[in-house]
Amino acid sequence: MDRITHLTDAEKQLLDAILSLELYPNASPEEADENVQAGENMALTADNLCKRGRLIQVSTFGKQAKLLDWTAAYPRLAEAGIIQCDDGIYHLTATGKIKAQHARTERIGKIFSDYFVRCARSTAHAAFCQRVFGKNLCQADLMDMAQLNKLLDVLDLSAENKVLDLACGMGTIAEYISDTTGAHIVGVDIAKQAITLAQERTRQKRARLEFRYGDMNNLNLAPASFDTIIAIASLHFVQDLAETIRQLVKVSSPDGQMGLFAFQYASESDSPDVLLPENTDLARALQKHSLSFQTWEFTAQEIEIRQRQVQVAQELIQAYRQEGNLDLCEDRIEECEIDLPRLKAGMKRRYLYHIQR
């Protein structure tokens, strides 16, 4: 029986690592050794959990991050029925899955809160967004004004619409859409500080703008409460895309619509057909719930935006450095160095999906 009401940071790290290995069992190059090669499934042993835990901490908080001591966490969580161990292999119980998801959401929420808030307060980032995207909406994705205007054309929103914006970040895009169309928008994100700042910034617009803390993996929203749902390249963060789509169907009205921006990668071993709009991960999740859709491709535009992003970031790098935000600039450049070759090689595509129920 679960008798733990408060998890220690070490226990959260351990549960986060177990959940990560259950969701993504393939070893990364950083985790590979003489026993486990990159790409192989990693058993949930204590050694492998430590490897995954270190990888999570370093990728989240930087190379200086370290694991806490898990010695007391194992027996305490096992005694509480949160984890089980069978022949040296660890598993989450049903209660453990819930607590592990909360720990993971808390960690990721802190990352995005820090990122969104720093971007919103950065003069250099404001200039970057204005020059790259055509308007400073504190964009975390590649949403330029051409794509945003296309989305608004497709959705045809008015003051009569009730809109859900998934993973809204600082809520600046939601605010722009509401200001432009008059639609009532509820923005949801796991970045608590970003949500708080969005609430404060839009205090005078509360009649049509709301911002709430929420997790795309577990939407706690009333059924049929929205006629329109927007997600701007955020659904790739969910654990189970088909399950999240099921939840979106539940909270949307019977005659509702969705405007979903998504991208799809293809590996060298994949068939090129995986990049077709009807074969992407999102398309398959929509088809699983018998949802038909129309698509528009923005791959060529993404290449142009990525190229412009590199140029502008390099021109603004000194301004970012003076603010103490050099890493924000370097991250943008690194994104392009990774994605531009994929885009030019035809191994990534970007689409807008419109679903009309």
Q: How distant, in Å, are the alpha carbons of 99, 109, 210 from that of 169?
A: 24, 10, 13
Residue 5 has pLDDT above 80, yes or no: no
Residue 1 has pLDDT above 90, yes or no: no
Same domain, yes or no, for 84 and 170? no
- Please report whether residue 112 resides in a domain: no
pLDDT in tens, 67-80: 999 999 999 999 99
pLDDT in tens, 193-216: 999 999 999 999 999 999 999 999
Same domain, yes or no, for 88 and 126? no
- Please report whether residue 124 resides in a domain: yes
pLDDT in tens, 307-318: 999 999 999 999
Residue 252 has pLDDT above 70, yes or no: yes
pLDDT of residue 64: 79
Same domain, yes or no, for 29 and 140? no
pLDDT of residue 3: 65
Rg of the chain (C-alpha set): 21
- Please report whether residue 190 resides in a domain: yes
- pTM of this prediction? 0.89
Same domain, yes or no, for 336 and 243? yes
Determine the structural domain holding residue 151 and report its residue range. Answer: 119-356
Same domain, yes or no, for 191 and 276? yes
CATH code assigned at 135: 3.40.50.150
- Please report whether residue 108 resides in a domain: no
What percent of the chain lies above the pLDDT cut of 70?
Answer: 99
Q: How many domains does the chain have?
A: 2
Average pLDDT value over all residues in the chain: 94
Inter-residue contact 87 to 56 (CB < 8 Å) = no
Same domain, yes or no, for 79 and 152? no
- Please report whether residue 97 resides in a domain: no
- Please report whether residue 1 resides in a domain: no
Longest dimension (CA), the chain: 61
Q: How distant, in Å, are the alpha carbons of 24, 190, 266 from that of 103?
A: 16, 12, 31
pLDDT in tens, 154-199: 999 999 999 999 999 999 999 999 999 999 999 999 999 999 999 9
- Position 4 confidence tier, pLDDT thresholds 50, 70, 90: low
pLDDT in tens, 312-347: 999 999 999 999 999 999 999 999 999 999 999 999
- Position 59 confidence tier, pLDDT thresholds 50, 70, 90: confident
* 170-193 CB burial, b ≥16 within 10 A, e <16: bbbbbbbbbeebebbbbbbbbbee
Same domain, yes or no, for 201 and 293? yes
Same domain, yes or no, for 304 and 187? yes
Same domain, yes or no, for 43 and 153? no
Same domain, yes or no, for 232 and 304? yes
- Please report whether residue 348 resides in a domain: yes
Instruction: For residues 298-304, give the mean pLDDT.
Output: 97
pLDDT, greater one: 142 or 39: 142
Same domain, yes or no, for 146 and 21? no
The DSSP code sequence of 191-223 is -HHHHHHHHHHTGGGTTTEEEEE-BTTB----T
